[in-house]
Amino acid sequence: MKKSALQKARAAYQPKLPIVLTGAVKAVEGNPTESVADQAEIQKLFPNTYGLPELKFEKNSNPIVGSPVNVGVILSGGQAPGGHNVISGLFDGIKKIHKDSRLYGFLMGPGGFVDHQYIELTSNIIDEYRNTGGFDIIGSGRTKLESQDQFDKGLEILKELNIKALVIIGGDDSNTNAAILAEYYKSINAGVQVIGCPKTIDGDLKNGLIETSFGFDTATKVYSEVIGNIQRDCNSAKKYWHFIKLMGRSASHIALECALQTQPNVCIISEEVEAKNLTLQDIVNDIAQIVAKRAENGNNFGTVLIPEGLIEFIPAMKKLIAELNDLLAHNAEEFAAVDQKEQRQYIINHLSEENAAIYASLPEGVARQLSLDRDPHGNVQVSLIETEKLLGEMVGRRLAEMKAEGKYVGKFGTLFHFFGYEGRCADPSNFDADYCYALGFNAACLINAGVTGYMSSVRNLTNPSVQWIAGGIPITMMMNMERRHGAMKPVIQKALVRLDDAPFRKFASKRDEWAVNTCYMYPGPIQYFGPAEVCDQPSMTLRYEQGAK
Ligand code: FBP
């Protein structure tokens, strides 16, 4: 296959491993752990894998004397830059344990594991994908691994290929399933270890020991580059307001990071909307005020960043979606039989009065999206809801009212954008290339240490990569009980934006100035070659979280 000049140069990049992983290691046990909440219930559900200690790798003076180990790997859920480096790190790690170790990749996500679709990942294949974006080396999928049947079916192929460990590279839902699988295999003495790796551009799989999920760094740099370009454009032409929706299913980490990088006029943070119990109209009024204020200064242009998950955080919408979820789940057949033109009215007739009124007030497109199929985890597919258009139109209407009241003089031209898929398969930044390679290599060390139900943990990430700390944390440590599909289930707790954490506080201290004045920042494209202060900086979220001022 023909390669671009950058592809060729990038293939030669050697990710920097934490110094501790460059030689033989020993796993040092820390204190036993507890789940973040609901300890008694989680312990009961995970009798074999609950309460395990944190692990930290330290240098070992004895060289590694390992035997060959066969390992399986699955990419699960949405793409995130760096997945290929997790796999190449894992490959190099198991080859370091023993040159005859083998790596098998299950195709198109967990589905390939259940259906026995796989390829052996040889060095020729791995070398083609080092430092590249995408998950195309083996593909990804969203099949939910949850039933014993699936686990048993998967075990058949693991036995056939003599696989001793399975590495699941995924987000919170996939790692929840990794924990359940680890517990099950342990309970039946299957002899298979299960190790998770923290992936998601959304940045919501993190805690003190998982400082960030991979892919967040690169994806937000890609979005920030284009937001910066748009800001330069709108500051040049001075005639458009750009409404930009940013991916991130639930948490607003991506929008917040991009705001810190680009200093837009407005950035909505869903978690704040929920905490302040704001309505859609409140949000619209706030944006309209800012547009009017800028118009007073002759600035009929600006940028508004909108997190993809906003709708589900507006308290009134949240209640509506919860009732809709139940309604559609309990009346699925009847609803499917209703003529498409009548479906909106059917829903209005079956909702409580309060929710029916909100549903009826929504534009056709948004209402329709809320009634469509959920994803396999039961989530509304928020990436398909055009919140940016909804807000832009509503702000336009509000400004017309304000004009009639003599409170606004200006022009309001809108343009709409959605940045999400553009960033998920970008070539990983140096940070993600190094971090992912280390996560994969570290997963091999966890396999060699014989543990199961652990997530690969590489931390101290704002320091140079050679100083990163490597180890593992029990996945059960991240879990709590939540209602899913009408029943309480153990799941990894999503890390939402915390309003008392440094990144949000930084943003909140600056946003009034950014709103009225034009303080745009232009981060430019990701740089792979050049000075470390340009090429190797981690996200601003991570830097503020770790004490930057
Ligand atoms: P993961 O949580 O699996 O990493 O996926 C995140 C995400 O990129 C969200 O930001 C987005 O809402 C969703 O995937 C889109 O899903 P799909 O790829 O199925 O369209």
Measured by CA distance, the residue closest to atom 17 of ligand 1 is: 78
pLDDT band at 376 (very low <50, low <70, confident <90, very high): low
pLDDT band at 332 (very low <50, low <70, confident <90, very high): confident
Share of the chain above pLDDT 70, in %: 97
Ligand 1 surroundings by CB, under 6 angstroms? 77-78, 80, 142, 171, 200-202, 247-249, 308, 382-383, 424
Comparing CA positions, the residue from 483, 459, 490, 446 lying closest to residue 97 is 446
- pLDDT top residue among 342 and 230: 230
CB 142 within 8 A of CB 177: no
User: In this structure, what DSSP letter does residue 303 have?
Assistant: E
- Ligand 1 atom closest to Cα of residue 200: 4
In which residue ranges of the chain is CATH 3.40.50.460 found?
Answer: 217-424+501-545
Q: Which residue in this structure is represented by tokens 């997530």? A: 455
CB 139 within 8 A of CB 123: no
The yes-or-no verdict on residue 336 having pLDDT over 90 is no
CB 18 within 8 A of CB 468: yes
Q: Could you say which of 92, 172, 202, 434 is catalytic?
A: 202
The yes-or-no verdict on residue 325 having pLDDT over 90 is no
Region label for 187, one of left (φ > 0), alpha (ψ between -120 and 50) or beta (otherwise):
alpha
In which residue ranges of the chain is CATH 3.40.50.450 found?
Answer: 5-215+428-492
pLDDT of residue 208: 85
Task: HSE, CB side, 13 Å, CA atoms: give it for residue 332.
Answer: 6
Taking all residues of the chain, what is their mean pLDDT, rounded to a whole number?
A: 94
Measured by CA distance, the residue closest to atom 6 of ligand 1 is: 78
Measured by CA distance, the residue closest to atom 5 of ligand 1 is: 78
The pLDDT tens digits of the residues spanning 149-196 come to 999 999 999 999 999 999 999 999 999 999 999 999 999 999 999 999
pLDDT of residue 64: 64
Quick one: 217-424+501-545 is in which CATH superfamily?
A: Phosphofructokinase domain (3.40.50.460)
Confirm whether 202 is a catalytic residue. Answer: yes
CB 499 within 8 A of CB 275: yes
pLDDT of residue 99: 95
The yes-or-no verdict on residue 370 having pLDDT over 90 is no
Structure tokens at 22: 């460059």
pLDDT of residue 377: 60
pLDDT of residue 328: 82
276 CA → ligand 1 middle, Å: 27
pLDDT of residue 456: 98
CATH 3.40.50.450, applies to 5-215+428-492 = yes
In three-state form (DSSP H/G/I as H, E/B as E, the rest C), the secondary structure along 517-540 is CCCCCCCCCCCCCCCHHHHCCCCH
The pLDDT tens digits of the residues spanning 465-486 come to 899 999 999 999 999 999 877 6
- Ligand 1 atom closest to Cα of residue 254: 10
Neighbour count for residue 497 (Cβ, 10 Å): 24
- To test the pocket of ligand 1, the residue of 199, 200, 379, 492 to mutate (highest count of ligand atoms within 8 Å of its CB) is 200
- Ligand 1 atom closest to Cα of residue 213: 4
96 CA → ligand 1 middle, Å: 34
Structure tokens at 281: 């109209």
Measured by CA distance, the residue closest to atom 10 of ligand 1 is: 248
CB 178 within 8 A of CB 196: yes
CB 19 within 8 A of CB 57: no
The yes-or-no verdict on residue 400 having pLDDT over 90 is yes
The pLDDT tens digits of the residues spanning 226-237 come to 999 999 999 999
The yes-or-no verdict on residue 487 having pLDDT over 90 is no
The pLDDT tens digits of the residues spanning 32-57 come to 999 999 999 999 999 999 999 999 99
pLDDT of residue 379: 66
The number of residues making up the chain comes to: 549
Q: How much is the average pLDDT of 334-338?
A: 89
The yes-or-no verdict on residue 63 having pLDDT over 80 is no
Structure tokens at 229: 């370009």
Rounded Cα distance, 507 and 473, in Å: 31
424 CA → ligand 1 middle, Å: 9
Task: Label residue 72 exposed, middle or buried (CB < 10 Å: 0-12, 13-18, 19+).
Answer: buried
The yes-or-no verdict on residue 213 having pLDDT over 90 is yes
- pLDDT top residue among 379 and 71: 71
Q: How much is the average pLDDT of 125-130?
A: 96
481 CA → ligand 1 middle, Å: 22
199 CA → ligand 1 middle, Å: 11
Helices 364-371 and 343-350, packing angle to 10 deg: 70
The yes-or-no verdict on residue 383 having pLDDT over 80 is no
pTM metric for this prediction: 0.94
